[in-house]
Structures are given as structure tokens and as C-alpha cells.
Structure 1
Amino acid sequence: MKRHPLSFGLLVALAAGPALAQSPPPAENDPDTGALDTIVVTGTRTSNRTVAESSSPIDVITPQALEATGTTELATALSRALPSLNFPRPAITDGTDAVRPAQLRGLAPDQVLVLVNGKRRHTTALINLNGSQGRGASPVDLNAIPVSAIQRVEVLRDGASAQYGSDAIAGVINIVLKGSDSGGSASLTGGQYSAGDGRTVQASGDVGFALGERGALHLAAEVRDQDQTDRAQPYVLTPGTTVRPATAPPPGQVVQRYGDPEIEQYAVSANASFEVNEALSFYGFANASRRDALSNGFFRTALDTRNIQAIYPDGFLPQIRNIAEDRALVAGLRGLTVLGWDVDLSYNYGENDLSFGVENSLNRSLGPTSQRNFHAGDLEISQHLLNVDVTRSFDLGWLSSPLNVAWGLEWRGENFRQRAGETASWINGGALLPGGVPAPSGSQVFPGFRPSDAGDFNRESYAAYLDLEADITDRFNLGVAVRSEEYSDFGSTTSGKVSGRFAFNDKAALRGTVATGFRAPSLQQQFFRSTATNFIGGVPFDIRTFRVNDPAAIALGAEPLKAEESTNLSLGLVLQPVENLYITLDAYRIDIDDRIMLSENLTSTAVRNFLNATVDPALGGGRYFTNAIDTRTRGVDLIGTYRWDIGDGKLDMTLGYNWNKTTVERIAPNPAALSAIDPTAVRIGRVEVGRLTVGAPRDKFQLGGNYSHGNWRFGANATRYGEFSVLFGNNPADTSRDQTFDAQWTLDLSGSYSLGNWDFTLGADNVLDSYPDEVLFANSTNGQLPYSASSPNGFNGAYVYARIGYAW
């Protein structure tokens, strides 16, 4: 496949030309209002704070900006609109293919808090265990929320645990839903990759209704059907060899599949409010989605010992079917006044259920009678929250503005369930491989969860916070927040934040924050347990993920998990040197102590002998979660927007740049228990360190905008994804398989024409069909997997799409 880098000349032409992509975010009720005047609700508890007045960097992404990216997925759209967001598209990573994690500022996917209408969103039940970015994390599934339901997305790029609680170390993504009582839209989008696969069709719409004279209900829905993509190549002999192995696939045939999964998804959303009187109102919103994703494993050839030729004479490609069901409901009452305080009472429920099915497979240990399809088990996470949020303003006279005082209480209950698969998915039926070696247990590609893996785990937490904010003078704003939480499973923690903004004049301001934060270990990290085949250096191992309280894990050095603790420092400059030009430059440092990591796969002979003698004679290794590492992340965010009025047309330009670097400050020494079993064991090695420090692009640059004139709109967006590296093996003396991938340019183009209420769009993402560097042959499974799963823009090539929309 050809790769076309974006030349410097094209970039210059783009900067000078009329076709650019992302416009400054308008206020909700005025499309011509600039970014500076947009009122935000994230990062502050005052009611009239704008983007320009915020003490922390906030990006506001409009539905128009999301649609301009061409994608049908929210997380992908955000990654194309935000320089600081990384959203790779891993493949052959089990459930991670279906629920992909996103990273903000190079940190872990579960170190960013997601809110919907300012209320905490639940995470997914999935825990990422394979070699993708975000290994060990259980993030929120952003793609479960229909884009058609979104009024705007506010992204706070700052630590905010003192304001919102656990997870808000890297920042906060707040999804604000449409809530109008009239109007609506409907659209039909279809697209396909230039390679001829990945056909996607999506229908979506939203509509608002009045509930009498005082209420509103806004509904939204989307349905998406997406075919898989495949960039696998034929098997190639290792250089220097002439004899084709008996277990190799037939010459010239592509038997492997490598790309995006096949997906069918629907999602619905409702947002309602009803005013009892001028001060008191009820509100509620709900969201439900179902995603059916079919992804691929590694091909088993006809003579592979894991195959039974009586069942698959030509070998087989096992597949994993994940069905993710997501439900959320929030109901509340706001505006209630008690002794002069405004009170917001709310209940918040969220649930994610992920089932694992294995298809086109077999259980080798059952012999020729093995079935081909299996139910391999389920994961489920749920949360219940009760919140009391109270605010009041005090006019103290000596302050330039009233002092806004907010305080609140929260109770949160969480539950994690792991359910076993059917017996045939995990059992060892006793059949032997050639040579009398025991066959692996369970369904090939993903052995089912065993009854011993199953469990029901829960915890509670209680929180209280206090938040003060005021304009000390006409130029100086100051905010102070403190939050204390008590968890039933690991203890208590307290976080604080001080933020300030000083305006030199109307054109320049300095802002900064100092904050401490935390992230509680998730129930999944504490209690998930499974045994699965992992390929390490191309060699299959049955690896068990132990719970931290498992006796075998304790013997290997596992300890009870504690919360991650962070210190966030940021300093930024806000400039508006001329009318319609808005520039922000923010530097940050984030120190995280006791970072929760999934250990390396412990597969040494000494560890295997211990596990085989005390746990399971078929185990090839084990791993567990641990607070064994401290990191420091430094970075800079630069955002600039400019609007020109050109005759009867408008040209909106956006430039964005993020640079970040993570370094490891400490790795805890191996516990005595692990050293006693294997003095040479590597619990946190260079592979995992590399994933943290160089596994995501060091920088990302975007230049784009749009030009509108009459009924026409033209858009373009150029993105440069910086270098990233993938390390192999924990022997620092052998770096032969390490690889650094060059920066990659992509260019997205679109054009739209409006005719009355109708809107017609034709566009192409990655129009120059740019691909990332191919991996070294030694890392390509004999040439079959040519691209890295860590590639920040995936490896599918150009995507062409068309959209028809109708709005009223």
C-alpha cells in the first residue's frame, strides 16, 4: 500500500487557503458568539463563568466541530478535535477491540473523569489486559453516547479531584446534552475505506418537545452498522530460511485478519426538565446503548497443535463476539432554597455489562467432539450515587464580586460482577497433544471465565467538599477547593486545589493552578481474575491474572492496592491581541505517586515451576496489579483560533499543539516474597515502562478550519501525529526488536451545501491515504501484521463518506 506524506508546501497552501476545519466554539444560543464568551459549567461552580474567564484551560467542542471530523464515533471525533487526546485503534486485543480506551495528556485512560451534564459517568466493566495503550485500565466508553444527543463537549485540561473526586487527574470531559423543547434533526451517513472495506452506515436524529408551558424533553437516537477492516498480509518466510514450516499457512494466502471489528450498535438518549416555579425545577436524563462487536484472534493453521483437523481441515480463525450494554439514569431536583442556600439533590445510576462469546473456535482438550461456539462469561459494573450540592453567594463588600460558596455531600456504591462461562469454554477435557503434552484448557483465543474466577464485589464511599470562588479585584480571580473521601475498601484521602487568574488588561491574562488529586483503585483492578493465552515474543503462554488477595499472588509479592496520588501544577497565558484572535498557552506538570500498574507477565522458569506445583500444572505465568511506580508528566498545550469576515463569507481557523513527556521517577524493588521465588524476576520492566513513556506520540499538531459562504461550507484539517516507540523484551542489552515510528501526517477534507432545511456533505478523512510505518519483520508475525496497534490514527487508510441531513 502506498503512503503519501503531507508535504510542507501543501501545509503552507492549507494555511493560506479557504478550506479549514474547526471553528471557535459558539455559545449555545448564539452561533456568532466567539469562544471567549462561551459560558461553561466545568471546572467552576459559579453560574456565569466564560471560557475567557476560566482559571483552567477548557476546550468547548460543538456538534458542528464533531460532525466536521467525518467520523461516527464520539471518541474518534474528540481525538481529531483535541491535540491532547490520543485514541489509537488496537486490533487482536480481545475486548479492547470493542471498547477502545482514550488518553488525555499522555496519561492512563482511567485518569480522566467523564461527566454527563455535570454528573459522574460510570466506567466500563472491561479491563484492558493485552499490549495496548491503557493496559490495566477500565475507562469510560465514550462511544456509548450518541453524537446526535450532544449540545457541546467541555474538556477541562487540569487536575480536578478536589472538585469532582476520583479519576480527575489528567482532566475532565463533560458531555452536555441537548435540552431544547423544540426543533430537531435527522441524518443518514455512509462511508467506506479506499481499500474497499469498513463500510459504515449510520442513521441518527434528535427532536425536542415541550412538556406543557414549563417543561422540555429532548430525545436522540442513532443506529450504526460497520463492517470490519483488514490490513493483514500473507505469511512470509523468515529471512535466511528456505524451508517452509509445516504449521505455516498456504503460500500467498491471507488467512489472518487485522483491523477494526465488525460492529452493530444502537444508542438512545433523553434529557428532560420541568419548572415547578421560577426557582424550583425537576431534571432527568438517561442513555442506553447496545454494541455487538465481532473481532478476530490469531489464525490457527491446519497442522497447528491447537487445531483439530477433523473439525477444521484447513485451520481456523477464532473470533470474539463482545456485546456491550450500557445504561445510565440521572434524576434530580434543583433550585430548592433552604435558609438562603440553593440546593441540588440528585440520584445517579450507571451500568455496563460486557459479555464474551467465542465463535469459529474449539476446545482442543475436548478432542474431535468439541463444539465450535462458546459463551465465555460476563463482566458487569454498576454504580449508584446520591448527591447533595449546595451553593450561595455572599456580598462581602470588600471583594470585587460576591463570594460563591459551594459545598456538598456524596454517597457512592459500586458493584463489580464476574460471571463464569459455560463449562466447555474453560474445562480441560483431558485430550493430549502429540508427544503426550496436555492440551490447553478452554475455548481457543479466549478461554472462558472459570467458576473460581466468578465473584460479586462491592464497596461504598462517602465524600464531602467545599468550593470557594470570587473576584478579589477587577483583575484577580481566586478559587479554593477541598474534598475528602472515605472508601470502604482502602481508606480515606483528601485533595485540594487553588486556582487563580490575573488579567493584565482586556487582551492578556495569566492563569494557574496548584492541586492535589487521587484515583481510587477500581474494583476491576482489585478483583478481576482470568486465565488467557498471551503471545509474548510470538510464543503462546497461558497467563493468569490474579486478584491481589489471591494466596498465589501474595506469594509472588502482591499487596493490597491503595489510591494513586497526584500533584498538578499548571501555568497559562490567555491572549486576545486583536479582535477575533484567541490564543492560550498552558504548561503543566503532573506527578503521580503509587501509580496502579498491571505487572509484567511473570513467566520465568522459577515462577512457572512455583505456579505449576502450587496452583495449576498448565499455567505458563502470572501477573497482578501493583502500586509499584511513580511518574512525572510535563507538557505544553497551545490553542489558537481566529475568525475572518471575508465579504459575505466567514473563515474560521484553529491551530492546536500538544507536547508531553512522561518519565518514571521510581520503580519499587521486588518484594521479598517474589525475590525468594525468583531473584531475577522483573515485575515492572522496560516493556511496561516504554508503554508509559514513549508508547504514545510525544506531540500532536493540528491546523484546520472552515470557510462558509452562502449555502456552501468547505472544511479541512491537517494533523501531525508525533513519533512513538514500542519496546520488546525486558533485557536492556537486547533492543533488536525495539522500534520508533516516524511522525505521520493526515489531511481531512469536506464540503457541504445547504438547501432550505436540507444539508448535503461529501468528505474524506486521511484523503492522501497515509499509513504509519510498517513494523519490523521480527514483530510482524512473519509479515502478517504489518502495522503497530499503537498507531494513533489507526492503519486503515483513506475513508470517504457522504451525509444527508435535515434540520427543523
Structure 2
Amino acid sequence: MRSTLLVALACGTAAIATPALGQTTDDQATTGSGAFDPSQTIIVTGSRVSDRTVADSPVPVDVIGGEQLQNSGYSETNKVLNQLVPSFNFPQPSLTDGTDSMRPATLRGLAPDQTLVLINGKRRHTSALLNLNGSVGRGSSSVDLNEIPPIAIDRIEVLRDGASSLYGSDAIAGVINIELSKRVGVRGTVTYGQYRTRMDGVDAVTGVVTGPGGLPVVTSAGSSPSGDFLELQTTGKDRVRHDGETVTLATSIGLPVENGYFVFSGQFSDRDPTNRSGADPRRQFNNVGDPRELTFDRYNHRFGDGKSTDYNFFVNAGHDIGTLELYAFGSYGIRDANAAGFYRRSNDSRNRDYGASLTDFVPYYPNGFLPAITSEIEDVSGAVGLKGEIGGGWNADLSVVYGSNQLDYGVVNSFNTSIGSPDSPERFDAGGMATGQTVANLDLTHPLNVDFMKSLGVAVGGEYRNENFKIRPGQEASYINGPYSAYGAPGGSQVFPGFRPNNAVDASRDSFAGYVEVDGDVSDALSFQLAGRYEHYSDFGDTLNGKVAARFEIVPGVALRGSASTGFRAPSLAQQFFATTSTNNVAGTLIEVGTFPVSNPVSVALGSKPLKAEKSTNLGGGIALNPIAGLSLTADYYNIKVRDRVTLTENLQGADVVTILQNAGINNVTSARFFVNGVDTRTQGIDIVGTYHLPDTGFGSVTLTAGYNYNKTKITDRASLPSLPGLILFGRTESLRLTHGQPRDKINLSADWSLDRFGITARTNRYGKVLSPGGSNDLAVGPGDGPADYTLGAKWITDIEGRVTLVDGLQVAVGADNVFDVYPDHVPVGGAFGTAGYYLPYSSFSPFGFNGRFLYGRLSINY
């Protein structure tokens, strides 16, 4: 059915792709050479009163044009922003359950849920996924920016300043506002790409070294037969991979509507999985002389991007009715994804078939198995509003926005050990989660005439928001402790036990807010902004926040600017009510972890307290330079203090924890975690951004951009929470994830050149050092001093693309992302590091992933 819709869409696009519609562009500032100049773009983010350019804004705002988003081999908006915004970070972890299929991004080193995302200035709903396992952003939910295809976007405005007083909860790190295209005409792209890479530091293995009698050579032995390691035969060269084939079809159709606009955009993307695993040297079978060891495929894990098929559609429409504009926009997206789990060997206790024998070890899957999590993610949003002049000098904007995100989990190539053969399924419906959000806004603005002011305006408004979070249980076989649990067999579908009936939840809350903003120009040189917001939550009570910002132009082209504000973030419903059991890979060891709501008796016994809202104080100041035509340079310092930061505890283990779990009737789970207001943090940094449009000398148009971010987060206080003796709720591992899990610094450099029918884009990004913390939980041990700590060194990642316009409206592009095939440093092996680095050679903390070089070609039409 979906394929039929896609073919119909493509045929319809081709049928109406005629020059008769004409070619127009959205209202973007350009230089004399026609290049997009973000410094002169009128921005809508950061103030509801004044239409200011980026250069005149009292707070830092990055503007990224739609064309910049498309001059890349990536069709994921998050990946492109990672290339273009220095303070934006998008790691791409693997073996992290649902996070493999919906990866979070961060701004200024804060949590994903501390950045607010808007579409056309309206709040976007978050995803249903709660990131839990081993990734940056652990314990948070985020907006899935990859649901928004680049072809649907006119521009992205990134406000790098606290904005809770303007927009409400979540806007602590800043605001990302995506303005949808209103372009008339037909555009379409077909992109094909593939990773063609040589894995740095990972040997290509051809088999097992054999000794006397043709038996595999054992290089080391543990305390049990399953701990034996075999000597592998290598080629002496790095492993080569050609995988991750990606096909993307995108189209945008803008109809020539009189006194209005109507744009339909759609994107289909099909991505094959990548595999960056190394060879597994562990003995796979119980018997030392098992001949299957000689033919076994040592690349048994799948470590990298999962399989993903995406359909995303957007509509953006509006029509003038007298002095008013009736507008509507909305989206629909669905993603089918498949992410691999941790490989279970034939001799793994999780592969024991108790149904075949209670006395002897009989594997359920004779050769071992690789379970996988399937995710079907359905995302829906719709907005309708009316804005314009209503008389008396007042302008109004009345809108209602609804959005929902539903994530349904499946498990394939697995089984429930506690059920065994022949009764256990191998495929499971593991249940799902859903979030919903309805927002109603009324915004009013009015200019004021004051003799001593050049201009002055006031904005007042109100907002109502309703939020909902649901968990749906899975089928019984996905979570049940079957009859063989009495013999120690773990229950539930392996890799992801399904949601249980007692995990089911349907929680809602409401909030009401009112705000006022005053924005004015005292003179051509001095402007200011004042804002305040009151908000009441049905579950967290009241909060009052304010902001002051100003800009002073010392001399033409040189301006100082600064801001001070307070902010807040109410804990999400998922952080309050989420509950499940999952399998975690911790340094190559699988453990069953239960996640419990703060009100659950298990959490209370371990030291939980009712959650409080996060509160922040943001200070910023900088300089903006426009010394010559075409050159813009800004430098801004920021200081963000967050109190009562909501964090997920460590995976709490030990005999006392197991006893509490068993007393609660929870067996086969050895670890527990829950949410706490764990720490206070201070994040400081510097953003430097420059853009230069070179004068046209006859050799083409050249635009150079550069960005630098330095970011440091420090834990300034820890919550005094009661807990079991010797139990640290938020210890060293999670602390270092917050403070050292993202690059301390990052550099973005790019150059765009065009002449007649030709164009080249070159970008290079330097990602600073990142620490991967080991398992030590001793807070007295400094960063890098733990026995299993290791540092991922700084790396430069370079992308290049060349374009040629064959005939008017038809363009061909070829390019390479990560053209020099750079990988993060190899995970150490041996000693405190364990053995997982043999077959999982790269760290999920890598800020640029670990897939290597991506080659692509693109065909574009534009009429």
C-alpha cells in the first residue's frame, strides 16, 4: 500500500513538473551576488514584537537556509545541523534499544529535552521514546527532527539563549524554530548513497587458527568453557565494508494560489543497516573441538545504523481574508525500523532451551542468535490559526496545534527462555508508548508611540497546553515469567521484554500561561527587550520567569549585546510514569534492568522522592561585528545554571537491591533505576560564528563560514537523597556522562562556490575530545583516572560536494561525507576494559558516529 502511494506521488509530481508554474523563492535576504545572507534575514524567533535581522538581534540566532540543508548526502535534518551549528551535537549510538531508531540531539551540551523546538513559531510535540540506555541524553525525550524533511524547510533559526519567559518549558538551552517553505513551483530530488569504508584498527578475519588434530587454538581460558578465546586468522589489513545503501526521494509542490500559498512536501527514505562490528574471538559452542567453530561467521554482531524506512509528509498553507490570514500546517510520518541487540552465543545461558531438557544444556538456537527490536513510529501533527490586524493598531495570532507520536515495539529472532520450546514464540508484540500534546495560543502585539523612543512595542498573550503519555502492554509471552523461571530461566522476550499490564499508564496534565513582552529601540544604536511569563501546571504548581536583553551599537558595525533570564522545565510525564524491564549491555555483560516510576514502592525503598521542576538562570553577553559589506562575526559567552536537574539514576545493583525487587514480586531482574532531581549543574561556553560573502571578481560567488564552540559543564551540587548504605544513586558514570560525554569544543568550517552552472560545497568539522567513563562509581576518582576510562581523541570530518546544472531546472550532484574515512579511536581491550572491544570496536560516545565514508549522487529538478 505504501509503495503504491509513493509511485502515485512520484507520477503526480512528474505530471505537473512544468515550467508554467514559474520559479520563485521564499523571502530570504541575499547579497548582491544572489547568495543567501543569514545576517540580513528577518527572524521571527526570540521576540514576538519586532521584526529584526540576525545582525540587529540582542541575542544570538543562527539562520540556516533551506539550500544549505540540501547540499549534503544526508537526508536526516539532525545530521545536517550537526555539520552546520557548532553548539549542536548529534551522536549516533548503537545497541541502545529504541534510541537506535530515534536518536536525540543536544544544544550547548545540555539535555535534549532542554531545547524547545517550534514549527512556524508553534511548539512541536516530543517523541514517545524515553532514552534509557547508554547514550548521550540518557533519561530524556526529544523532538524527532528527522521527521522533518529538508525539502520542506525554508530556513531554520537556532536561538542560542534561554527563552522560557517567551515560550515556556524546555527553552533552557535555546530554541530551534523551523520555518516551512512557501515556495511556488515544483522541486524534486533523487539521492542514492552507500558507505564505502575501511574500518580503522579492525582486522579483517578469515577464520580460526587450527592446531594439532585440526582443533581451534585456544589463546586464553576463563573460569568456565564459555570464557575460552580462540586465535583468529587475519589478513593483516583492516576490514572493508560496502553497506548502508540509502535511497531518498523527496518532492515539494507549491501551488500558485492567489492571495495565499499551498505547499505539499514529501520524502521517502530507505536505509539499509550498517555493520561496524569486529570479529568475535570467543568460543561459541560448548565443546572445545566443535567443528562448527571453524565455519562460524565471527562477525556475529550488527553494530551501527539499523534498517529504517521513512515516509514523511508536510503541508503548509495560508490564505488572506481581508486583513487576516487563515493558515494551517501539518505533518504525517511513519518509520519502520529494525535495530539489532547483543548477540547470544550458542553456549549462552540465555540460549538454553529448558523445554528440551531440564538436566542438560540444549541450545534453543543451535548456532546462537541475534535478536532485534523493531519499531514502528507514527507521528501526526496539525495546526490551524488566524492572524493579522484586528483594529486599533493591534495584531493578533490565534492558533491551536495538536501533535502525537506513537512508538510500537516488536521483537524478532528471539524467544522467552522461561517458556522454552515448543511454546515460546520467536516474534513478539512488546507493546508501545504514545505521547500527545494540544496547545492553544492567543498572541497580541501593539506598537506604542513614545516621544523619546524611536520605536516601542508590546506583546501580551496566553497559552493552554494539555499533555498525555500512555504505555500499552505487550502480548503475554513478551513479559511473562514462564514455568522454567523456577529453574532460573529469565522471563520475557530477549533483548526487550514487553511492557507488563502493571506498566500500563494513561497520564495527563494541563498548564496555563500568560506572558508580556516589551521590545523597543531607544535610538539607532540602543535596543532592549523585557519579558515575563507566569505558568501554572496541574502537577507542579506555579512558576514565574523573566528576561532582559539589550544591544548597543558602539560605532556602526560594532555592537555589544547581552541577556539575563530565568527558565524552567517541568519533568515530563514519561519521567514520572515510565516503567519497564530491559536488557542492558554493560561493558560486554548483559544485565536485566527494571525502570520504575518515582512513586513505585521499589523506587521509594531505594531512596526516591517526588520530582520537582528544573529551574535555570541564563546569563549571556557578546559582540557582533559587521565591519565591511558581506562580513558578519559574532562572539557570545553563556553561563547556564540548572537547579534540581532531572536525571536517571545509575543501574543500581547488589544483594540489597535484588532483595527489594524480590520482595516486590519481581524476579530475574538484578538492577533497578528511577528518576531523581539528582544534581545542580553550571554550563559555560563561548560561541563564535562568522560569515563572509566575498566580492564577486568574475570567478564566481564565494561564501565562507566558520563556527567555534567551547562548552564545559560542571556539577555544582548533589542532592542529599536517602538510600541504602553504600548505594550511590547518581554516581561517577552518570556524572561523567553529563560533564564529559560531549565534545568540549567543536569547529565548523565551510566554503560554498558557484559560477554559472557549477557549484562546490566543502565542509570540515573538528570534534573535540570525549571521555567514555568506565564502571567505577567512586566519585573521588577524577575524569580519565578510572581503570576503564578512555578518551576519544579529537577528529576532523570533511565533506565535499560538486554540482552541475545540465539544463535549466535540472541539476546533478556527487559528493562524499567523511571523505577521508575517519573513525573514532578504537575501544581498548583487555584488563579492566574487558573483551567487548574485540567485536564492538567503537564507542557510542563518538560525536560523529562510526560509519566511515559515505559516497552519494543526487539528481534534482527545480521549476
Deviation at 1:311, TM superposition (A): 4.1
Kindly tell me: are residues 27 and 57 of structure 1, through their superposed partners in 2, closer, same or farther at Cα, counting changes over 3 Å?
farther
* Alignment match of 2:664 (pick from 611, 614, 626): 614
Is the counterpart of residue 662 in structure 1 residue 687 in structure 2?
A: no
Q: Is the 8 A contact 1:461 1:487 kept in 2?
A: yes
Kindly tell me: are residues 441 and 33 of structure 1, through their superposed partners in 2, closer, same or farther at Cα, counting changes over 3 Å?
closer
Deviation at 1:742, TM superposition (A): 0.5
Deviation at 1:245, TM superposition (A): 12
Deviation at 1:504, TM superposition (A): 0.9
Deviation at 1:64, TM superposition (A): 1.4
Q: Distance in 2 between matches of 1:126 and 1:143?
A: 14
Is the counterpart of residue 28 in structure 1 residue 81 in structure 2?
A: no
One-letter identity of the residue aligned with 1:350: G
Q: Distance in 1 between matches of 2:294 and 2:345?
A: 6
Q: What are the Cα deviations for residues 707-742 of structure 1, in whole angstroms up to 9, with x where unaligned?
A: 111110011111111000011223436711101110
Q: Which residue of 2 aligns with 1:783?
A: 838
* Alignment match of 1:406 (pick from 440, 459, 469): 459
Matches for 1:576-655 after TM superposition, within 5 Å: 576-644=626-694, 645-655=696-706
Q: Distance in 1 between matches of 2:85 and 2:747?
A: 10
Query: Which SS does the other structure have where 2:419 is aligned?
Result: helix
Q: Distance in 1 between matches of 2:548 and 2:113?
A: 24
Q: What are the Cα deviations for residues 235-261 of structure 1, in whole angstroms up to 9, with x where unaligned?
A: 1369xxxx8999999766111110001
Q: Which residue of 2 aligns with 1:774?
A: 826
One-letter identity of the residue aligned with 2:808: G
Q: Which residue of 2 aligns with 1:69?
A: 72
Q: TM-score, normalised by structure 2?
A: 0.87
* Alignment match of 1:234 (pick from 279, 284, 292): 279
Q: What are the Cα deviations for residues 127-173 of structure 1, in whole angstroms up to 9, with x where unaligned?
A: 00101000000000000111111000000011100010000000000
Q: Which residue of 2 aligns with 1:282?
A: 326
Is the counterpart of residue 722 in structure 1 residue 774 in structure 2?
A: no
One-letter identity of the residue aligned with 2:373: I
Q: What are the Cα deviations for residues 307-334 of structure 1, in whole angstroms up to 9, with x where unaligned?
A: 1356411111000001111111010011
Is the counterpart of residue 304 in structure 1 residue 307 in structure 2?
A: no
Q: Which residue of 1 aligns with 2:10?
A: none
Q: Which residue of 2 aligns with 1:511?
A: 561
Structure of higher RCO (CA pairs closer than 8 Å, 6+ residues apart): 1
Q: Is the 8 A contact 2:644 2:680 kept in 1?
A: yes
Q: What are the Cα deviations for residues 531-561 of structure 1, in whole angstroms up to 9, with x where unaligned?
A: 1122334333221111111122112211111
Q: Which residue of 2 aligns with 1:799?
A: 854
Query: Which SS does the other structure have where 1:198 is aligned?
Result: strand
Kindly tell me: are residues 167 and 247 of structure 1, through their superposed partners in 2, closer, same or farther at Cα, counting changes over 3 Å?
farther
One-letter identity of the residue aligned with 1:761: A
Q: Is the 8 A contact 1:346 1:388 kept in 2?
A: yes
Q: Which residue of 2 aligns with 1:525?
A: 575
Q: Distance in 2 between matches of 1:168 and 1:244?
A: 61
Kindly tell me: are residues 622 and 263 of structure 1, through their superposed partners in 2, closer, same or farther at Cα, counting changes over 3 Å?
same
Deviation at 1:617, TM superposition (A): 3.1
Could you tell which deviates more after superposition, 61-70 or 749-758?
Answer: 61-70
* Alignment match of 2:98 (pick from 91, 95, 120): 95
Deviation at 1:581, TM superposition (A): 1.3
Q: Which residue of 2 aligns with 1:5?
A: none
Q: Which residue of 1 aligns with 2:18?
A: none
Q: What are the Cα deviations for residues 337-386 of structure 1, in whole angstroms up to 9, with x where unaligned?
A: 15542221100100000000000110111111211000000100000111
Q: Which residue of 1 aligns with 2:15?
A: none
Is the counterpart of residue 380 in structure 1 residue 424 in structure 2?
A: no
Matches for 1:548-563 after TM superposition, within 5 Å: 548-563=598-613
Deviation at 1:27, TM superposition (A): 5.5
Q: Which residue of 2 aligns with 1:217?
A: 262
Q: Distance in 2 between matches of 1:602 and 1:250?
A: 40
Query: Which SS does the other structure have where 2:484 is aligned?
Result: coil
Deviation at 1:506, TM superposition (A): 1.7
One-letter identity of the residue aligned with 1:349: Y
Q: Distance in 2 between matches of 1:324 and 1:33?
A: 35
Matches for 1:387-786 after TM superposition, within 5 Å: 387-401=441-455, 403-432=456-485, 437-644=487-694, 645-671=696-722, 674=723, 678-732=724-778, 735-754=786-805, 755-777=807-829, 778=833, 781=836, 783-786=838-841
Q: Which residue of 1 aligns with 2:188?
A: 186
Could you tell which deviates more after superposition, 730-739 or 789-798?
Answer: 730-739
Deviation at 1:272, TM superposition (A): 0.5
Q: Is the 8 A contact 1:430 1:438 kept in 2?
A: no
Q: Distance in 2 between matches of 1:91 and 1:498?
A: 42
Q: Distance in 2 between matches of 1:133 and 1:719?
A: 20
Kindly tell me: are residues 399 and 523 of structure 1, through their superposed partners in 2, closer, same or farther at Cα, counting changes over 3 Å?
same
Q: Distance in 2 between matches of 1:256 and 1:286?
A: 39
Query: Which SS does the other structure have where 1:469 is aligned?
Result: strand
Q: Distance in 1 between matches of 2:388 and 2:406?
A: 35
**Identity over aligned pairs, percent:** 44
Query: Which SS does the other structure have where 1:379 is aligned?
Result: strand
Q: Is the 8 A contact 1:69 1:81 kept in 2?
A: no
One-letter identity of the residue aligned with 1:592: V
Q: Is the 8 A contact 2:194 2:243 kept in 1?
A: yes
Q: Distance in 1 between matches of 2:299 and 2:569?
A: 44
Is the counterpart of residue 256 in structure 1 residue 256 in structure 2?
A: no
Query: Which SS does the other structure have where 1:783 is aligned?
Result: helix
Q: Is the 8 A contact 1:162 1:465 kept in 2?
A: yes
Q: What are the Cα deviations for residues 639-662 of structure 1, in whole angstroms up to 9, with x where unaligned?
A: 111111231411110111101000
The gaps in structure 2 that reach 5 residues or longer are: 1-24, 197-240, 354-361
Is the counterpart of residue 364 in structure 1 residue 366 in structure 2?
A: no
Q: Which residue of 1 aligns with 2:171?
A: 168
Matches for 1:56-135 after TM superposition, within 5 Å: 56-135=59-138
Q: Distance in 1 between matches of 2:378 and 2:463?
A: 26
Kindly tell me: are residues 229 and 33 of structure 1, through their superposed partners in 2, closer, same or farther at Cα, counting changes over 3 Å?
closer
Deviation at 1:70, TM superposition (A): 2.1
Q: Which residue of 1 aligns with 2:227?
A: none
Q: Is the 8 A contact 1:525 1:625 kept in 2?
A: yes
Q: Is the 8 A contact 1:136 1:598 kept in 2?
A: yes
Query: Which SS does the other structure have where 1:203 is aligned?
Result: strand
Q: What are the Cα deviations for residues 70-100 of structure 1, in whole angstroms up to 9, with x where unaligned?
A: 2110011111111110001000100000000
* Alignment match of 1:271 (pick from 316, 330, 345): 316
Is the counterpart of residue 354 in structure 1 residue 414 in structure 2?
A: no
Count of residue pairs the alignment pairs up: 769
Q: What are the Cα deviations for residues 277-326 of structure 1, in whole angstroms up to 9, with x where unaligned?
A: 1x211001001100111000001111111113564111110000011111
Q: Is the 8 A contact 1:483 1:495 kept in 2?
A: yes
Q: Is the 8 A contact 2:26 2:182 kept in 1?
A: no
Q: Is the 8 A contact 2:641 2:682 kept in 1?
A: yes
Could you tell which deviates more after superposition, 382-391 or 526-535?
Answer: 526-535
Deviation at 1:668, TM superposition (A): 1.2
Kindly tell me: are residues 245 and 607 of structure 1, through their superposed partners in 2, closer, same or farther at Cα, counting changes over 3 Å?
farther
The gaps in structure 1 that reach 5 residues or longer are: 1-24
One-letter identity of the residue aligned with 1:273: G
Kindly tell me: are residues 752 and 94 of structure 1, through their superposed partners in 2, closer, same or farther at Cα, counting changes over 3 Å?
same
Q: Which residue of 2 aligns with 1:291?
A: 335
